[in-house]
Amino acid sequence: MFFYKNKTHKHDSRIRFQNRTFRRELEKARSHKREGKKIPDRRWEIFLAKIGLGSVTSKIILFSAIALAVYVIYIPNWLYIKQVNILGAKQGDEGNIARLAGVYLQSHKIWPQKNMLLLNGKNLAEFLSQQDQNIIKVEKIEKKYRGVVNIFVQPRRETYLLIANSAEYGVSNDGRIISSHFREPSSTPAGLIPLKISDNEGFNAGQKIFTESFMQALNAISSGLPAAANSQLDYFEMANLQSLDLNAYLKSGYKLVFDVDSDATASLENLKIILNNTSQSDKNNLKYVDLRLKDKGYVCLKTAPCAKIAEAPVISTGTASSTLQAAPLR
């Protein structure tokens, strides 16, 4: 008995075509048309299609992003400044600086400066320095959490009393004439450090008479001198405004000679070393200490020959060299 394996027989296409179901499916396939992509006919639709925003989904994403940006930038939210703190200003000037800061924050509508993300700290600092004459500069602006901004300012203070012959002027800590004073010789305004010069060119209020580098040196010396010399400062003296030699007279009875073109902090440290190595008897007999030479100092005692030369009027050398015959520290 013979067994034959089952084989897959191909149907004759003529036989398959006679099948009614096959003919119906074939006719359906012939009449099928794929839906074509709709071509936009308006200009804005064509533009959106070119930049990839032709679909509804992309448009929804775009408009959602725009709405979010409008909310973050223009609608008051947690990014908006709610409190401004002024730090370092003179007592009584904080309110005026805060008011000016508020004026600046409200003055920009298109690019709101009240929004901490958009706040331009440099422009705000320049605005405050220009509008308030009691500010030398804005040192730092800090943006804090929950809409808090801290503004650190360096105030302009009347610090020195410039005595030029018979005329007297109040000078700020950045070298500007603040006011003029007319007084009896023994009535120095309280809190001002006298600075005597020999000439008098005549000055006007608001005029800047000292350079920034000179004022940095003068401020450093006046603030650090009492601790370095263990004595209070009595007054400063210069030959003229162009002089580089600055004499500081102490209430303990002797003077110090500085070169304002040198590092004031280094000069004060040098002074500490000199005084620490000077005996108490010599300290009581000091005439002056010359600090104009870098990393060196000279001590002149009242009994030394250099003390007689020191009695002469102040002479501006303009350099670190000196005509004084100072005795070196022993």
Chain segment 131-189, per-residue pLDDT in tens = 998 999 999 999 998 899 999 999 999 999 999 877 889 999 999 998 887 555 555 66
* pLDDT for residue 271: 95
The pTM score is: 0.67
Give me the pLDDT at residue 320, please.
32
Smallest CA-to-CA distance from 163 within 186, 134, 146, 133 is with: 186
Summarize the chain as % helix, strand, coil (round to 5): 35, 25, 45
* Cβ–Cβ < 8 Å for 174, 211: no
Q: How far apart are CA 322 and CA 299, in angstroms?
A: 13
CATH topology of domain 83-155: Ubiquitin-like (UB roll) (3.10.20)
CB 306 within 8 A of CB 326: yes
The mean per-residue pLDDT over the stretch 91-111 comes to 90
Q: Among 1-5, 49-53, 191-195, 308-312, name the most confident range.
A: 191-195
Indicate the domain borders of the chain.
Answer: 43-74, 83-155, 158-328
Confidence (pLDDT) at 301: 93
| pLDDT range class, residue 291, cuts 50, 70, 90 | very high
**Stretch 51-63: mean pLDDT:** 74
- The SS3 call for residue 326 is coil
- The Cα–Cα gap between 91 and 96 comes to 11
Distance CA 161, CA 182 (A): 11
Report the mean per-residue pLDDT for the chain. Answer: 81
Q: What is the pLDDT of residues 211-255, one digit of tens each?
A: 999 999 999 999 999 999 999 999 999 998 888 999 999 999 999
Split at pLDDT 50, 70, 90, the class of 318 is very low
What CATH code is assigned to 158-328? 3.40.50.11690
Q: Give mean pLDDT, residues 44-55.
A: 69
